[in-house]
Structure 1
Amino acid sequence: MSTAIVVGATGIIGRAIVERLIQDESISVIYTLSRKPGGHTHAHPKVRHAFLDLRASAQNMAIGLAGVSGTYIFFSAYTSVSDPEEMFKINNDMLTNFLTAVEITGATKSIKRFILTCGLKQYGCHLGESKQPMVESDPLLTDDVGGVKWPANFYYTQQKELAQAASKHGFEWICTLPKDVIGYAKGNFMNQATALGLYCAVSRALPGSVLPYPGSRDNFYSFNTWTSSDLHAKFCLWAAKATEPGVGNNVFNVVNGDTETWQALWPRLAERFGLTIPDAPFTTAEKSTDSSTFQLSTVQPLAANARALGISKDEKVSTPAIIDVKIDFAKWAKRPDVLEAWETIRDQYGLDQSAWDNATWDFMNVAFGRHFSTVASMSKARKLGWTGYEDTWDSFDRTFRILEEEEILPGRT
């Protein structure tokens, strides 16, 4: 029998991993770690909660980790702050101190594989257009790749630190790169499904019950990939136990396996929430007070591949990306009529106000305002035996149902 440690167990990714581990008969004990005593919601004989403050020193972490060991470690902890330099330092320190802490306790001796969750910012898609599709062999945006001084990316340093620790202590490591994770964890609203569901629910309560598309024409027709938290959890367990040569000490994209567009998803979204779509959504002659346009701060990540692709003279490569939304979600969420509609349905259905207060409105602006596709290839994992797949609309629909059951969204009548 094997044991597992889940760091970040109260998050959307960590919660799904714990659920999968509970179902795995080969796992006898699951240690869930968080700053909240008893912070994980899973009540199961396998699950043992341990207090861990990832912002603490390695020595203090080691105290909380006394007696805790795992065959497999799943590290999905992440802290988001507004200052990029602070976020870089905090997230690096969390992993580095944790690795030092398990070395202090001697728990490194029992580790077989350590699974680290990062994301598709690996390719710089938060900075602009990346080469499509994104594959794991694409160059990292470090130093002066492509003649550009790229912003620091803590994913790269985390992977380097983990690889060094694995080599030192004789275990294997794997890094997963999910994209726009769809899922649910109690009290955690950092995912697109919550904000999108709230936008739909309030739109239904507004006069006309229409669902205007908030983004640009290019965004509506671009191609994207998403990651179900449940599918990601299945992948993590596969990666932890897979015996195929080449799985260990590797980085993998983890997306659902389909390629979707908002032109296909938006009508289904409207139908599900009982809304109609206004015609000609991209022909507004004048900018409304709800719209926003801003430019990102670096050149497009395509610059890292420009010479190899023969596009070094393409102006798009050397020009920062534009984010353009017809409806700025952050502005929309503060409109008096929107707030009134939200408060009405909140009181009628007993909904959670913190979901509205903590919805990722700014992230939604980027997701709907970009003018480029974000498609990740799953070929590398599939060649090594991974066969998992989930339909992206099914991921959204299942999460919406959970959000309704948890009184984040109003139930359908």
Structure 2
Amino acid sequence: MAASSSPVNVACVWGANGISGVAMVDALIEQDRSNWNRIICISRRPTQLDVDDDRIYFISIDLLESSVNEIVTELKKAGGKNITHVYHFTYIEKQDENELDEVNKVLFQKALDASIEVAGEHIKCVTLQTGYKYYGVHKGGEYLATRPYQEDAPRHQGSNFYYTQEDLLKEYAGKHGWKYIVTRPNIIIGVSRGNFMNFALSFALYATLQKEEGQPLLFPGNEVAWNAVVDHSDAMNTARFQIWASTNNEIHNEVFNIHNGDEVRFCTLWPYFERYFGFAPHKQMFDADDIQTGEIGISQFSLAELMPKHIETWNRLTKHKQLDSSAFNYATWNFIDFVLGRAFDDHSDMSKARKYGWKTTVNTVESYIRCFDRLKEMQIIPSI
């Protein structure tokens, strides 16, 4: 689906080393130079991008530790005065909700202030990626929005850093006269080198270790989660949508749910996972405990507790197969526990995106397989 870009577009990707940032860079460079003639990438760590394109200029800078003036200086060196499109993916995890809100507000505000200082009126659109936490999926119960989630769902009570970021975006857009796009993906399927904080990588490590130890691929979560409809968002598909929406002259100041568009349940995904990793089919068994719809944290067993006990197996396997032993350190077992321990459907309505003309649907099984294949190429999991 072609983007209606002008010949002088310059992208600025904040958080370029993360899963979504890497996908955005890949999506930008697959387009012709007449659409994008410069791609400025910003991240705390040195570049982890596995691409070779002379349009890319990478800035390694710690946004929290740097002043806006210091960030501005680096952007000017990169030709930032010509930035037309800003794509924001930076994120820092904090357990305390107020700290989470404050630190991610600072990241986004610094990015906005620096972009405005350098590019000013050249900026056409700022795109912010949030997610389904907007709908209270991390809290459940009375905080949970009605399914399927609608973009205009009422906000839940209490702190939510997505609310803070979206309000900040709307305020800045109104003040400075550029349009904004907010996208809300769900479980993001993708890979970035040295930053493996995602469901697919953590699951692949779990499957690899279960296989190595001759154990079946057990579903850690509850029976409701096993059968629930759960949206997944392929990182490349999401990036392509973000480019399309941000450069579409018919779309102004909109919020979009964005997922693969197919109906996904873990009970139907699991046989494909078993086949890919070489497991015999296994009938999943669940406790008969009464589970209330909307609950969170209901699992048969916790990977966050289980997997650290298998570090010796991992070290032995990585040595034998010459794998990247550091991958285990980046696995987010708590995130898998969270996703699989929820007792509710987790899906949104994508009719707004469809109404504007986005027709793409991605097969989630194929998306996972591409991701697992890439992990093999990167020597994160064994190829045989």
Cα contact 2:48–2:192 (8 A) shared by 1: no
Aligned counterpart, 2:248? 242
Aligned counterpart, 2:150? 135
Q: Distance in 1 between matches of 2:266 and 2:232?
A: 12
Q: Distance in 1 between matches of 2:264 and 2:284?
A: 21
Q: Distance in 2 between matches of 1:59 and 1:152?
A: 30
Q: Distance in 1 between matches of 2:47 and 2:285?
A: 48
Cα contact 1:114–1:174 (8 A) shared by 2: yes
Aligned counterpart, 2:198? 191
Cα contact 2:11–2:83 (8 A) shared by 1: yes
1:151 aligns with 2:158: yes
1:254 aligns with 2:266: no
- Report how far residue 256 of structure 1 moved: 0.5
Aligned counterpart, 2:278? 274
Q: Distance in 2 between matches of 1:385 and 1:96?
A: 31
Name the stretch that deviates more: 118-127 or 93-102.
Answer: 93-102
Letter in 1 for 2:54: P
Cα contact 2:13–2:88 (8 A) shared by 1: yes
Q: Distance in 1 between matches of 2:212 and 2:239?
A: 35
1:228 aligns with 2:234: yes
Aligned counterpart, 2:268? 264
Aligned counterpart, 2:109? 96
- Report how far residue 130 of structure 1 moved: 3.1
Q: Distance in 2 between matches of 1:210 and 1:39?
A: 34
1:327 aligns with 2:294: no
Cα contact 2:145–2:153 (8 A) shared by 1: no
Letter in 1 for 2:180: W
Change (3 A) 1:249 1:284: closer
Aligned counterpart, 2:91? 78
Cα contact 2:145–2:154 (8 A) shared by 1: no
Q: Distance in 1 between matches of 2:48 and 2:369?
A: 27
Q: Distance in 2 between matches of 1:364 and 1:36?
A: 25
1:389 aligns with 2:361: yes
Letter in 2 for 1:267: P
Q: Distance in 2 between matches of 1:43 and 1:177?
A: 29
Aligned counterpart, 1:31? 40
Letter in 2 for 1:19: D
Q: Distance in 1 between matches of 2:323 and 2:56?
A: 29
- Report how far residue 283 of structure 1 moved: 4.6
Cα contact 1:7–1:77 (8 A) shared by 2: yes
Aligned counterpart, 1:358? 330
Name the stretch that deviates more: 258-267 or 43-52.
Answer: 43-52
- Report how far residue 236 of structure 1 moved: 0.8
Q: Distance in 2 between matches of 1:279 and 1:29?
A: 52
- Report how far residue 138 of structure 1 moved: 0.9
Give the TM-score taking structure 2 as reference length: 0.91
- Report how far residue 53 of structure 1 moved: 2.5
- Aligned partner of residue 181 in structure 1, secondary structure: strand
Aligned counterpart, 1:167? 174
Cα contact 1:223–1:259 (8 A) shared by 2: yes
- From 37, 49, 52, give the equivalent of 1:43: 52
User: Deviations for 1:307-329, whole angstroms, at most 9, x for unmatched residues?
Assistant: xxxxxxxxx69xx7241211210
Q: Distance in 1 between matches of 2:47 and 2:280?
A: 44
- From 59, 66, 69, give the equivalent of 2:69: 59
Structure 1, gaps ≥5 residues long: 142-149, 286-294, 296-315
| Identity level (%) | 32
Letter in 2 for 1:93: V
Cα contact 1:130–1:374 (8 A) shared by 2: no
Structure 2, gaps ≥5 residues long: 1-6
Q: Distance in 1 between matches of 2:301 and 2:281?
A: 14
- Aligned partner of residue 297 in structure 2, secondary structure: strand
Q: Provide the aligned length of Structure 1 versus Structure 2.
A: 368
User: Deviations for 1:42-67, whole angstroms, at most 9, x for unmatched residues?
Assistant: 32111111233221332222222224
Aligned counterpart, 2:3? none
CA-based RMSD = 2.0
**Aligned pairs (5 A) from 1:335-354:** 335=309, 338-354=310-326
User: Deviations for 1:381-410, whole angstroms, at most 9, x for unmatched residues?
Assistant: 100111121111111110000001101111
User: Deviations for 1:361-394, whole angstroms, at most 9, x for unmatched residues?
Assistant: 0111111111111001110110011112111111
